[in-house]
Amino acid sequence: MPNPLVHTVNVFGSLATSSLSGWRGCMVVKPAAQPEQPLTLYDMEACPFCRKVREALSALHLDVDIRPCPKGGRVFRAEAEALGGKQQFPLLVDRNTDTVMYESAAIVAYLFREYGQRSVPRLYQDKPWQSALGSLASAASALRGLRADAGRQPEQPLHLWSFEGSPFSRLVREKLCELEIPYRLHNLGKEHWTEIGPAFQRLKPGRYAPIAGGKRDAFFQQHNRVQVPYLEDPNTGKGLFESARILGYLETEYAR
């Protein structure tokens, strides 16, 4: 388990990151149907441009296969270059439409057009000051998720239930990126205003009930709660809630 004091400081830093990012990637704008073949994102967690793409994916409820490409990484950077011609991130690969794309603004527009059947919402439109705020947001999280840290590769990718604006989920994504661990990111954004607030004390009083038939409802039926982050590791059969427990598990199981 991480040092409790350090972990608490990191949580507050992650809260600042979400605040500086305007809490984009929390509420679902339009639930999109999952494509036949999963999207793949070559990603660097601390990169503000990659963050914009993950925010859009959360807003559309789209799952995505994350291939972490931190600086100094040796696992997926060459693969990304072979696909797109250069080591630049974010890089989106959509085999459903034979699309390989760089540039965050272009990717965001593509996702809303292709899977949301709409233009980019105002909150997610690229603005002149966003790059500066995005860099400050990354700095608030001490640039975790920027550089590679030696780790063991799993035989099968892990599965993480998360949404981009979740401060606790960000801590787990940072560690997965640093260790270059591939994972399926299951976006589980808030589907209604009644879900605003932490898992155990939402704004609406009374018993929590997710929208019937939605992704959160499916998660609730399986786990009797909707809380992120939640990590499943098919290599060990482990399933864990709570960011501190997950970070401790990743360090024990995959860090060298």
Residue 174 is predicted with a pLDDT of: 97
Residue whose tokens read 């060298």: 256
pLDDT at 3 over 70: yes
State percent of the chain over pLDDT 90.
Answer: 78
Mean pLDDT of 16-25: 92
* Domain spans, the chain: 4-188+228-254
pLDDT digits (tens, 9 = 90+) for 74-116: 999 999 999 999 999 999 999 999 999 999 999 999 999 999 9
Residue 203 is predicted with a pLDDT of: 61
Q: How far is CA 23 from the centre of its chain?
A: 13
pLDDT digits (tens, 9 = 90+) for 109-158: 999 999 999 999 999 998 888 878 888 888 889 889 999 998 899 999 99
pLDDT digits (tens, 9 = 90+) for 205-255: 778 888 899 999 999 999 999 999 999 999 999 999 999 999 999 999 999
Q: Is the dihedral of CA 66, 1, 151, 237 positive or negative?
A: negative
Reported confidence tier of residue 199, pLDDT bands at 50, 70, 90: low
Q: Which two tokens stand for residue 39?
A: 């999207």
Q: Which CATH architecture has domain 4-188+228-254?
A: 3-Layer(aba) Sandwich (3.40)
Mean pLDDT of 21-29: 94
pLDDT at 197 over 80: no
Contact 63, 187 (CB under 8 A): yes
**Distance separating alpha carbons of residues 83 and 171, to the nearest angstrom:** 29
Provide the whole-model pTM. 0.95
Residue 14 is predicted with a pLDDT of: 93
Q: Which two tokens stand for residue 144?
A: 């975790």
The C-alpha torsion from 162 through 166 and 169 to 170, rounded to 10°, is: 120
Residue 134 is predicted with a pLDDT of: 85
Mean pLDDT of 27-44: 96
**Distance separating alpha carbons of residues 36 and 201, to the nearest angstrom:** 36
**Residue 235, C-beta contacts closer than 8 angstroms, at least 6 positions apart:** 154, 155, 156, 158
**Distance separating alpha carbons of residues 117 and 124, to the nearest angstrom:** 15
| φ, ψ dihedrals at 250, nearest 5° | -65, -40
pLDDT at 187 over 70: yes
Which one, of 99, 90, 98, lies nearest residue 134 by Cα?
Answer: 90
Residue 195 is predicted with a pLDDT of: 76
Taking each helix axis from N to C end, the angle separating 4-20 and 130-140, rounded to the nearest 10 degrees, works out to 170
pLDDT at 167 over 90: yes
